[in-house]
Amino acid sequence: MAINRTFQFGEDHLTTSIALGMAQGTIRGIFSNECLKNVNASYERVQRIVEKGDTVYGINTGFGPLCNTKISKADTKILQSNILKSHSVGVGEPISTELAKIMLILKIHALAKGYSGIAETTLQRMLWHLENSAIPVVPSQGSVGASGDLAPLSHLFLPLIGLGKVEYQGKTIPTQALFEQTGLQPLELGPKEGLALINGTQFIAAHGVMVVHKLQHCLRHADIIGAMMLEGLQGSMKPFFEELHELRPFKGNQHVAGRIRTLLQGSEILEDHIDCERVQDPYSLRCMPQVHGASRNAWLHLKELLEIELNSVTDNPVIINDELTISGGNFHGQPLAMALDYAALATSEIGNISDRRIYLALEGNSPGVPKLLMKDTGINSGYMILQYTSAALASENKSLCFPASADSIPTSLGQEDHVSMGSISGRKALNIIENVEKILAIELLTSAQAFEYRKPLKSGILLDEIHTFLRTKVAFAENDRVFADDIEKGIEIIQNGEIINLVDRIMEEKQLKWNTPHLQEFETY
């Protein structure tokens, strides 16, 4: 991808989209002269502390329960390398290279603010790894989310001292092999540098970045697919009227109702049953603004908190100025841990209501739509068993919704007596999102099948174009077939954002606008 802009580490305001842009190579991170001036000033402050012999945690003391153990001036450098080694205790499958890259981006930005005592040479080496896509291998398990993400961050920075492994040019190789190929040498970390590297919330925050990105995709898809199901089952438009949602003006509810009104604008299907005798629809159709909207509100909450975190200093101790060094708790992951658990629940609910709409489509209670979404049943099972899969996924998500942040197991011989478990919150949230993508893929298939039975009537231009596009990927089913193949195609469509891109393109071409308030808040990150 071509680089289309630059971002000044330590100075510019970092957002989820900018972090993703840097990870994907469309935005280049740089250090300004002013940034490096601040970094070097902080580094010099640490050197003066060492020279004076003042006792400052992590600079000339041990760590955690060893905070009262004084370290000699001669041993301060050994201490910093040892902390990377001793804290590299991660286990489990490595996180994705993209997640590790985002961790690196977030850490560079935090250290570049000039409160951490890091050396410019160390910061430049970190940027080299980013620019050359030599991304450290980071195990997924081992962080309790307080004192920062110690284990994953230790693995992230082992390559600075010549240890660990990296993903480089499509292969996982030892750092020593990377050095042989590139001519790099291990760095000698100065006082406090090791602690500055591994103290922080960048593992949790990187997961937060991916949750904000992927959950928004799920939310957008849920509105679009839910609107198609509403048309397929001849649901009422009245529950989406603006007048109703002005009486209970939650931002998410208003936004979802407005999106669905826009998607259904100009629908012949709606006009065809405007005077039908049905009094009201089941909740899974009627309450989309309330349910999808509540999940939208949770997403917005996470987005706002994450943006604060992305632009914060979260290591410890923090070097404020020559006179003030604070050993505090900015590394504690609780602010994000709770928000990620909330987002996990919000995501799961999108899957729950989607599964209910899938089931509703199979019942055969909507005029013109056959039971199990297929006319010749008996010899054919139709779409019956696809709902088994969505039910299994929805149930699995419920088991993943126990809040990790509700737990705390003391560590570090009781010095760290309350921890956030936020790393688990982030990992679980991404697992739930992956399951919901699969549920939405199944609803996409079933809603399109129901939608087909409304022909020759047309829906609004957006839904008609989506249905036409889907039929280029997955054919209408008149008989049973291996539906797993259809589901895989549906999952691919969801994960690639093809429907969202199609909608955006049509709206631009036709100069359409979303009939919704709060557009900027919910559609950007």
3-state SS record for 464-475: HHHHHHHHCCCC
CA distance 230 to 522: 23
- Per-residue pLDDT, 37: 98
pLDDT in tens, 243-267: 999 999 999 999 999 999 999 999 9
* Spacing of C-alpha 85 from chain mean position: 29
Of these residues, 43, 57, 342, 525, which one is catalytic?
A: 57
Residue 522 in this model has a pLDDT that exceeds 70: yes
Residue 58 in this model has a pLDDT that exceeds 80: no
CA distance 394 to 354: 9
- Per-residue pLDDT, 97: 98
| DSSP 8-state code for residue 405 | G
Question: HEC profile for 157-201?
Answer: HHHHHCCCEEEECCEEEEHHHHHHHHCCCCCCCCCCHHHHHHCCC
pLDDT in tens, 342-362: 999 999 999 999 999 999 999
CA distance 175 to 472: 46
| DSSP 8-state code for residue 266 | T
Residue 74 in this model has a pLDDT that exceeds 90: no
**Mean pLDDT, to the nearest integer, of 213-227?**
98
Specify whether the CB–CB gap between 80 and 195 falls below 8 A. yes
- Counting every residue written for the chain, the total comes to 525
Specify whether the CB–CB gap between 160 and 108 falls below 8 A. no
pLDDT in tens, 8-34: 999 999 999 999 999 999 999 999 999
**Mean pLDDT, to the nearest integer, of 469-490?**
98
- Per-residue pLDDT, 156: 98
Q: Say which residues have a Cβ less than 8 Å from residue 74's Cβ, sequence separation at least 6.
A: none
Query: What six digits make up the tokens of 350?
Result: 């999108």
Q: Say which residues have a Cβ less than 8 Å from residue 131's Cβ, sequence separation at least 6.
A: 28
Residue with tokens 């961050």: 153
CA distance 436 to 443: 10
CA distances in angstroms from 143 to 88, 148, 201, listed in the order given = 10, 8, 10
- Per-residue pLDDT, 56: 74
Query: What six digits make up the tokens of 240?
Result: 């989406």
pLDDT in tens, 367-389: 999 999 999 999 999 999 999 99
Query: What six digits make up the tokens of 387?
Result: 């709902």
Most confident stretch, 51-60, 73-82, 415-424: 415-424
- Per-residue pLDDT, 4: 84
C-beta atoms surrounding 167 within 10 Å: 18
Specify whether the CB–CB gap between 261 and 240 falls below 8 A. yes
Query: What six digits make up the tokens of 47?
Result: 């050197």
Query: What six digits make up the tokens of 433?
Result: 């999102």
Residue 62 in this model has a pLDDT that exceeds 90: no
- Per-residue pLDDT, 275: 66
pLDDT in tens, 224-248: 999 999 999 999 999 999 999 999 9
CA distances in angstroms from 403 to 150, 399, 400, listed in the order given = 21, 10, 8
- Residue 525 appears among annotated catalytic residues: no
pLDDT band at 70 (very low <50, low <70, confident <90, very high): confident
Bond prior to 456 in cis (omega within 30° of 0): yes
- Per-residue pLDDT, 474: 98
pLDDT in tens, 27-39: 999 999 999 999 9
**Mean pLDDT, to the nearest integer, of 305-330?**
95
| DSSP 8-state code for residue 217 | H
- Report the mean per-residue pLDDT for the chain: 95
Q: What is the amino acid identity at position 196?
A: A
Percentage of residues in the chain with pLDDT exceeding 70?
A: 97
* Spacing of C-alpha 23 from chain mean position: 13
CA distance 200 to 285: 43
Q: What is the amino acid identity at position 291?
A: V
Rounded to a whole number of angstroms, the CA Rg of the chain reads 26
Q: What are phi and psi of 288, to 5 degrees?
A: -55, -40
pLDDT in tens, 412-447: 888 888 999 999 999 999 999 999 999 999 999 999
Residue 96 in this model has a pLDDT that exceeds 70: yes
